[in-house]
Amino acid sequence: MIAFHSPQTLEDASALLAAEPSARPLSGGTDLLVQMRSGRVEPAAIVDLKQIPSMRGIRAHDGGFAIGAATPCTALLDDAALCAAWPGVVEAANLIGSVQVRNRATMAGNLCNASPAADSVPALIAADARALVVGPAGEREVPIADIPAAPGKTNLAQGEFVAEIRLPAKSASGGDAYLRSIPRTEMDIAVVGAGVSLVLDSSGTCTAARVALGAVAPTALLVEEAGAALVGTGLDDAALDRMADAVRAACNPINDKRGTVEYRTAMAAILAKRATRIAQSRAGANS
Amino acid sequence: MSKIAVTATINGDEQEFLCEPGESLLDALRMRLNLTGSKEGCGSGDCGACTVMMDGRMVCSCLVLAPEAEGKRIETIEGVAEGSVLHPIQRKFLEMGGLQCGFCTPGFIVAAKALLERDPDPSETEIRYWLAGNLCRCTGYDKIIRAVQEAAAEMRQERVVS
């Protein structure tokens, strides 16, 4: 028999999760309930995080945004400031599943489910977002890329959970984008995903760039060499080709029915280039 | 552990029911409240046959735990018609052959109603994307899309020139 808990504070939630090794946190439930039904997880306790006030909603934080971990993906669309600052992140989160699923599913859940194909994760990594992790030992802020450890596994300790996703202040002349490849138009899992975040100076020269990939390795990747290939350039075709080379070199995908190694590797480079152009136009529009 | 008592507003009426902690809202609606209009197609959020409104947002009730409904406002297919008067979307589905076996229909009706309440004049593309989480294996979708368009037109009190 499962126990169902609805703690009101972060401390109580952490204590409940720490007390029962098989306990699972619940926010949107769109992965957890499917896993429970299939028997992949059999938690003795479910800790619903949605009654904790700070877990819901979006607030200004340090010039950027703090998004409560139980905030559903569709609620991001209702925040005009967030959509203006980080459109790639909001779009990535709203590629997940259907409207029904996105009305429940959260970016924090997408992150902690630790699927290599999670759509919001490369976009968050590109944006240099951080996760506020709460646990028995207190709070710590962790780069998004450091949360997933392997498919289905995180680096969170017993009793720890993600309480917030923190997005930094957006540069006035910055832009971001996320693209994915799927064989359908909706309701599918990324075969490849690419997130890019850029900052341009007044002459259009790229002064900072982060490129992140999904579904081409056991976890979403930050490809530092790909970002470095763009910095200091005017984002000419040669610079994008060098970026694409770095992307292909970083790919280590699986071969499965949804995509071969060759396809995923080639598409990662193409999507990273396209996402770079979108991020560039967004950055240009802002400068 | 004993069952959990849940109080929720279902189709406008406050209702209390007892459920298991790990029970889905869909099972509670069907088995405890005898609201069997919402269907289980897949149980994994892929098909949308179990679509209901929860606090004004459509969700797959198979992916909601029944205890999560505490204090929520739930609207199901049973609340769409007013007595014996069908909602325009229901009537257009009937008139235009927007269903064959009917298993997916409750989910499509609830989802289409949610769309038209937020956007009275969606494009065909917007309708198709909005309904992407509802699967139909009979109709091929076209008749469903036409029915939603016709219902939208009627609800806008316009006449579509055919």
Q: Is the pTM of this model over 0.90?
A: yes
Q: Do the bridges between strand A3-5 and strand A45-48 make them parallel or antiparallel, or are there none, so unpaired?
A: parallel
Q: How far is CA A191 from the centre of its chain?
A: 16
Per-residue confidence band for B159, with pLDDT thresholds at 50, 70 and 90? very low
What is the mean predicted confidence (pLDDT) over A245-267?
96
Both B10 and B43 in one domain: the answer is yes
Both B68 and B119 in one domain: the answer is no
- How high is the pLDDT of residue A287? 54
Within 10 angstroms of residue A247's Cβ, the number of other Cβ atoms is 26
A241 Cβ partners below 8 Å, 6+ apart? none
Chain B closest-CA separation from residue A99 CA (Å): 7
CATH 3.30.390.50 domain residues, chain A: 174-286
Average pLDDT over chain B reads: 96
* Cα-Cα end-to-end distance for chain B: 61
Cα gap B9→A242, rounded to integer Å: 58
Both B9 and B68 in one domain: the answer is yes
Chain B partners of A51 at a C-beta cutoff of 8 Å?
A: none
Q: With a cut of 80, say whether residue A285 has pLDDT above it.
A: no
Which top CATH class is A1-48?
Answer: alpha beta
- How high is the pLDDT of residue A18? 97
Does B120 map to a domain?
yes
| Nearest C-alpha in B relative to A34 | B44
Amino acid in the structure at residue B126: E
What is the mean predicted confidence (pLDDT) over B62-66?
98
What is the mean predicted confidence (pLDDT) over A175-193?
95
* A99·B4 Cβ contact <8 A: no
Both B102 and B73 in one domain: the answer is no
* pLDDT over 70, % of chain B: 96
Q: Tokens 């529009």 appear where?
A: A285
Tokens of A14: 């952490």
**Angle (deg, nearest 10), helices B88-95 and B105-118:** 130
Average pLDDT over chain A reads: 97
Both B46 and B105 in one domain: the answer is no
Q: Do the bridges between strand B57-60 and strand A64-68 make them parallel or antiparallel, or are there none, so unpaired?
A: unpaired
- How high is the pLDDT of residue A136? 96
Cα gap B139→B101, rounded to integer Å: 9
Q: With a cut of 80, say whether residue B1 has pLDDT above it.
A: no
Q: Which candidate from A26, A97, A185 shows the least CB-CB separation from B45?
A: A97
Instruction: Note whether B71 contacts A: Cβ–Cβ < 8 A.
Output: no
* A2·B20 Cβ contact <8 A: yes
Q: With a cut of 70, say whether residue B57 has pLDDT above it.
A: yes
Chain B partners of A185 at a C-beta cutoff of 8 Å?
A: 129, 132
Give the CATH number of the domain where residue B66 resides: 3.10.20.30
Q: Which candidate from A72, A101, A186 shows the least CB-CB separation from B129?
A: A186
- How high is the pLDDT of residue B142? 97
**pLDDT tens sequence across B81-127:** 999 999 999 999 999 999 999 999 999 999 999 999 999 999 999 99
Does B161 map to a domain?
no
| Nearest C-alpha in B relative to A97 | B133
Both B63 and B101 in one domain: the answer is no
Chain B closest-CA separation from residue A56 CA (Å): 15
Chain A closest-CA separation from residue B57 CA (Å): 7
Q: What is the DSSP letter of A59?
A: E
Give the CATH number of the domain where residue B102 resides: 1.10.150.120
Residue A161 main-chain phi, psi, to 5 deg: -150, 160
* B45·A36 Cβ contact <8 A: no
Distances (CA, A) of A277 to A13, A178, A191, B10: 43, 11, 21, 48
Per-residue confidence band for B158, with pLDDT thresholds at 50, 70 and 90? low
| Nearest C-alpha in B relative to A184 | B132
The last residue of one of the domains, among B59, B79, B99, is: B79
Geometric angle at alpha carbon B51, from A30 and A113, rounded to 5°: 5
Both B100 and B34 in one domain: the answer is no
Instruction: Note whether A150 contacts B: Cβ–Cβ < 8 A.
Output: no
Both B142 and B106 in one domain: the answer is yes
Instruction: Note whether A236 contacts B: Cβ–Cβ < 8 A.
Output: no
Both B124 and B145 in one domain: the answer is yes
Instruction: Note whether A203 contacts B: Cβ–Cβ < 8 A.
Output: no
Q: What is the 3-state secondary structure (H, E, C) of chain B?
A: CCCEEEEEEECCEEEEEEECCCCEHHHHHHHHCCCCCCCCCCCCCCCCCCEEEECCEEEEHHHCEHHHHCCCEEECHHHCCECCECCHHHHHHHHCCCCCCCCCHHHHHHHHHHHHHHCCCCCHHHHHHHHHHCCCCCCCCHHHHHHHHHHHHHHCCCCCCC
* pLDDT over 90, % of chain A: 97
- Tell me which architecture the domain covering A174-286 has in CATH: 2-Layer Sandwich (3.30)
| Nearest C-alpha in B relative to A49 | B68
Per-residue confidence band for A286, with pLDDT thresholds at 50, 70 and 90? low
User: What SS3 state is found at A145?
Assistant: helix
* A50·B68 Cβ contact <8 A: yes
Task: Decide: residue A127, CB within 10 A, 0-12 exposed, 13-18 middle, 19+ buried.
Answer: buried
Both B103 and B75 in one domain: the answer is no
Cα gap A184→A10, rounded to integer Å: 39
**pLDDT tens sequence across A87-117:** 999 999 999 999 999 999 999 999 999 999 9
Residues 13-32 of A with CB under 8 A from B: 26, 28-30
Per-residue confidence band for A119, with pLDDT thresholds at 50, 70 and 90? very high
Tokens of A225: 């060499």
Instruction: Note whether A8 contacts B: Cβ–Cβ < 8 A.
Output: no
* A186·B51 Cβ contact <8 A: no
Cα gap A91→A282, rounded to integer Å: 14
Both B75 and B9 in one domain: the answer is yes
* pLDDT over 70, % of chain A: 99
What is the mean predicted confidence (pLDDT) over A59-75?
98
Residues 102-141 of B with CB under 8 A from A: 111, 129-130, 132-134
Both B69 and B106 in one domain: the answer is no
What is the mean predicted confidence (pLDDT) over A243-264?
96
Give residue B69's domain range. 4-79
